[in-house]
Amino acid sequence: SITPATLSAISNAARKGVLFKGGIHVENLSHINAIAFDKTGTLTKGKPEVTDAYFADEADKTYVTAVVGAIENESTHPLAQALTTYSKQQHDDNPSIDVHDMKTLGGKGVTAIVDNQKWEIGNPDFVGRKEAEAFANVSAELAAEGKTIIFAKADDTIVAVFALKDTIRKSTKKAISKLKKARIHTVMITGDNERTAKAVADEAGIDHYIASCLPQEKVEHVKALREKYENIAMVGDGINDAPALASANVGVAMGEGTGVALETADMVLMKNNLERITNSINLSRRMNRIVK
Ligand code: ADP
Ligand code: MG
C-alpha cells in the first residue's frame, strides 16, 4: 500500500514534469550514491551536425560525399542522419547511387557495397587503427573539441574523415554540479572514442567516463558500478540503453527518448531537464524522512 507521503511526493514530482512509475522508485531514488549517463541524446541533444570534412588527396570529394550520404540514408542513427543531411547540402543535383548489402554494426558503423566497392563507414577501430593513422593529426585535434570522428573507407583505402559536433543540453552542467553538491558520483558511458568522451565529460563536469563501450557492454558497466556504489541510477534515451536502465536500481529515461527506453524506465524526465533529477532526489530523501 502507498503512504500519503509517497503519494504526495509522486504528485509533486509530476507537477515538475517528472513521472514516477510507482512509490518504490521514489524510495529507491533516495538511496542513490551514483548516476550513470548515456552521452548522445542524454547529456547532449542528440542532434549532431557535420562540422569538418577531410578527403584523401586522390579521392573524388563529390562522389565520396554522395556515397556516404546514400549509405547512411539507410541507417536511423543520429550520426547517419547528420551525414545524409550534410551530403544533400553539398550537391544541388544529387547523383543517384545504388547501395547494396547495407549492414549496421551496432556501436561501430555501417558497411555496404557501391559500384562493386566495399565501403566501411564508422569509428577508427572499425575501419582499422592502422589505416586511420594517416589522419591521426586531424582526428586527434577534432576529437579534443568533443567532436565525433567518422572515417569512410572504400575497399582498403580511407577516402574521407568527417567530424560531427553535438551540443550539450542547456541543463547538463547545472545538473551535474547540483549532483556533486548532493554528494552523488557521476559517470558517463558512451560508444564514442576516448578523446571525444573526455572532452564532453570535461565540458559537462562529469567525474568519470567510460568510452568505446559497445551497446551490449553497457549492462556490464552498470553492474560493475552497482558493486562499487551499491545504489545507482542510469539515465538514457535510446533502444540500446533499455537493458542498462533495467539493470540499475533506478532507470531514468529522457522524455524524448525512444519507446523502449520510456517503457523500461522507472522514472521519466518528461521535459528532458536533467536538473530535475537532483530535485527529485531531494524530494525522495525528504519523503523518506517523513515515512520513517
Ligand atoms: P553513443 O554511445 O554516443 O550513443 P553509439 O554506441 O550509438 O554511440 O555509437 C558509437 C560509435 O559507433 C559512434 O561514435 C560512431 O563512431 C560509430 N557509429 C555508430 N553508428 C554509426 C553509423 N550509422 N555510421 C557511422 N558510424 C557509426
Ligand atoms: Mg543515447
Active site residue 38: yes
How many angstroms does the Cα of residue 105 sit away from the middle of ligand 1? 9
| DSSP state letters, 78-140 | HHHHHHHHHHHHH-SSPPP---EEEEEETTTEEEEEETTEEEEEE-HHHH-HHHHGGGHHHHH
- Which residues, 6 or more positions from 162, have their beta carbon under 8 angstroms from its beta carbon? 50, 52, 53, 54, 68, 83, 86, 149, 150, 151, 152
**pLDDT, tens digit (0-9, with 9 covering 90-100), for 157-207:** 999 999 999 999 999 999 999 999 999 999 999 999 999 999 999 999 999
Kindly state whether residues 246 and 279 are assigned to the same domain: yes
Domain boundary among 130, 165, 200: 165
Q: Give the global pTM.
A: 0.91
For residues 269 and 236, give the distance between their C-alpha atoms in angstroms, rounded to a whole number: 10
Which structural domain, as residue segments, surrounds residue 31?
A: 4-45+168-291
Q: Give the three cell numbers for residue 87.
A: 551530403
How many angstroms does the Cα of residue 8 sit away from the middle of ligand 1? 41
**pLDDT, tens digit (0-9, with 9 covering 90-100), for 83-123:** 999 999 998 777 789 999 999 998 899 999 999 999 999 99
Top mutation candidate among 40, 77, 120, 142 for ligand 1, by most atoms within 8 Å of CB: 77
Q: Which domain CATH number covers 137?
A: 3.40.1110.10
Top mutation candidate among 42, 44, 79, 150 for ligand 1, by most atoms within 8 Å of CB: 79
How many angstroms does the Cα of residue 75 sit away from the middle of ligand 2? 15
40 lines ligand 1 (CB under 6 A): yes
Domain boundary among 144, 165, 186: 165
For residue 191, which of 258, 128, 236, 156 has the smallest C-alpha distance? 236
Kindly state whether residues 148 and 178 are assigned to the same domain: no
Q: Which domain CATH number covers 183?
A: 3.40.50.1000
The count of domains in the chain is: 2
The answer to whether ipTM exceeds 0.90 is yes
Q: Which residues surround ligand 2, an ion (CB under 5 A)?
A: 38, 40-41, 237-238
